[in-house]
């Protein structure tokens, strides 16, 4: 072989080897990408904080700011977004408006976006506390800010790897509904006897035991850049809130404290976008506030900061042992579900009108006038309400998005029956439709079951919602 022919052959073979290596490298390159972002959604002074039952008045000051925190994941075939908002609750139509903005600006499919509220009680309830124009202006700004969080997270997409795990937070949680001896519970606001639950406003001297179990698990989704730098952490805790506020002061509660402490511990100076920590509310509709771990008298907001720090520290410890993978499959399913509304009958409306016509009269319960007004408001509701149930698959992790303030029994049942190795649920997802007691808890009565704008779905709503969530999880397990 002549030197010239040998040289040409050598160059051809070398080129073939290099191109083959490039193809292999491309095939092995991880396709999973992730991006996160946080957008300030703090309301201005004067915006309403009023709730359906509790009347918290307008914003008078800001202790700590509120954020919409978004995480976007993309595996090359599917793109999903999870947006956790420091708000008490948000009606579905406002989340739908935010999703529509994202869709119009980026093409992101609306049914690929999960939006939820943390349920801090020191933030607006949208629009349940609405008083006037200032609230409407904030709501209009809010939906744009929530959308912007998702848009920015999508713009920050980078190759990533994901791991998940959990730690036991049971010592911080307790059921706030107590089973009491039959006949021992005071009359409900409607003047009716028969409740067997001592709860937020039911009284009894004969308590037997907590009416339901807790969910002790704090679930963690950890997202890192390929170089190991933390990108985002999504926690999920089934505890109602922390509390310990000053009236009128805005706060993201322990959810915001958790995010701040994670960011402080994981802050690094590099070319990556800022780390984003977020904590979603699990199934905590019947769980009380974060239990203090000592006998100290904490100042306003002090236990919020301390409990958030403790949860953040335990999260970081758990993450040390997680296996982060860059090649996980993503999927999401969504289903619309139409449920009946427990509107008041003729007798209940007549009772309400009598109560409201004589505001000075003595009533069976200190909240009778409140529930009389709620009966009138509930009578204006449509006969049915359409809600969204979502299920997400990230490798062998399942995430469920449920509207309502969901009881722990529902979350625990979904975890037990899920086909995935790990599963957790987010409540108040994609809307807010009141409390969601199980059918058994409805029979026991108590604050969370009394018909009002805070609890109005049909008695069998929990069964239908839970079964739908499990069906979607099964469909994702293929």
- Mean pLDDT value of segment 92-108: 98
Cis status, amide bond into 36, omega within 30 of 0: no
Tens of pLDDT, residues 12-34: 444 444 444 343 334 446 689 99
Determine whether the annotation assigns residue 240 to a binding site: yes
In three-state secondary structure terms, 45 is: coil
Sorting pLDDT into bands at 50, 70 and 90, what band is 7? Answer: very low
399 is written with which tokens?
């995430």
| Entry pTM | 0.92
Determine whether the annotation assigns residue 365 to a binding site: no
19 CB burial (10 A radius; 0-12, 13-18, 19+): exposed
Residue-level length of the chain: 478
Domain ranges of the chain: 33-175+212-338+382-476
- Mean pLDDT value across the chain: 92
- In this predicted structure, the answer to whether residue 8 has a pLDDT above a threshold of 70 is no
81 is written with which tokens?
């977004």
Q: Would you state the pLDDT for residue 56?
A: 74
Q: Could you tell me the end-to-end alpha-carbon distance of the chain, in angstroms, rounded to an integer?
A: 57
Rounded Cα distance between 384 and 426, Å, is 23
Tens of pLDDT, residues 224-255: 999 999 999 999 999 999 999 999 999 999 99
- In this predicted structure, the answer to whether residue 290 has a pLDDT above a threshold of 50 is yes
Longest dimension (CA), the chain: 114
Q: Which residues sit opposite 221 in a β-bridge?
A: 164, 234
Sorting pLDDT into bands at 50, 70 and 90, what band is 200? Answer: confident
Q: Which residues sit opposite 325 in a β-bridge?
A: 162
More confident residue, 20 or 71: 71
Rounded Cα distance between 115 and 113, Å, is 6
């Amino acid at each position: 072989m002549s030197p010239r022919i040998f040289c040409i052959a050598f160059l051809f073979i070398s080129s073939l080897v290099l191109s083959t290596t490039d193809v292999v490298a491309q095939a092995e390159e991880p396709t999973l990408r992730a991006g996160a972002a946080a957008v300030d959604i703090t309301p201005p002074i004067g915006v309403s904080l009023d709730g359906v039952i509790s009347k918290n008045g307008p914003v008078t000051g800001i202790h700590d700011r509120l954020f919409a925190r978004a995480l976007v994941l993309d595996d090359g075939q599917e793109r999903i977004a999870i947006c956790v908002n420091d708000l008490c609750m948000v009606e579905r139509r406002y989340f739908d408006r935010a999703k529509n903005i994202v869709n119009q600006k980026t093409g992101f499919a609306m049914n690929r976006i999960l939006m939820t509220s943390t349920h801090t009680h020191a933030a607006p309830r949208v629009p349940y506390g609405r008083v006037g124009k200032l609230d409407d202006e904030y709501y209009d700004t809010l939906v744009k800010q929530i959308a912007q969080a998702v848009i920015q997270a999508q713009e920050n997409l980078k190759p990533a790897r994901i791991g998940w795990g959990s730690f036991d937070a049971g010592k911080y949680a307790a059921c706030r509904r107590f089973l009491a001896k039959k006949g021992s519970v005071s009359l409900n606001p409607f003047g009716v006897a028969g409740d067997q639950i001592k709860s937020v406003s039911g009284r009894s001297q004969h308590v037997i035991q907590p009416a339901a179990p807790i969910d002790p698990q704090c679930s963690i989704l950890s997202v890192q850049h390929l170089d190991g730098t933390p990108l985002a952490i999504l926690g999920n805790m089934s505890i109602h809130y922390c509390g310990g506020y000053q009236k009128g002061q805005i706060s993201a509660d322990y959810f915001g404290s958790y995010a701040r402490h994670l960011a402080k511990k994981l802050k690094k100076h590099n070319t990556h976008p800022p780390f984003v920590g977020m904590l979603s509310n699990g199934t905590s509709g019947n769980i009380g506030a974060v239990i203090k771990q000592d006998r100290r008298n904490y100042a306003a907001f002090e236990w919020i900061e301390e409990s958030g720090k403790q949860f953040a520290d335990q999260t970081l410890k758990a993450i040390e042992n997680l296996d982060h993978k860059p090649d996980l499959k993503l999927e999401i399913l969504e289903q619309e579900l139409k449920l009946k509304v427990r509107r008041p009958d003729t007798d209940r409306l007549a009772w309400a009108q009598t109560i409201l016509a004589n505001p000075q009269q003595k009533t069976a319960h200190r909240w009778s006038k409140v529930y009389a007004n709620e009966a009138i408001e509930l009578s204006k509701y449509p006969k049915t309400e359409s809600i969204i149930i979502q299920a997400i698959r990230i490798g062998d992790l399942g995430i469920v998005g449920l509207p309502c303030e969901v009881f722990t029994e529902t979350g625990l049942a979904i975890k037990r029956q899920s086909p995935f190795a790990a599963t957790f649920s987010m409540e108040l997802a994609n809307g807010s439709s009141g409390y969601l007691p199980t059918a058994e808890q409805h029979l026991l009565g108590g604050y969370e079951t009394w018909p009002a704008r805070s609890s109005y779905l049909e008695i069998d709503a929990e069964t239908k919602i839970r079964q739908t969530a499990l069906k979607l999880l099964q469909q994702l397990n293929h």
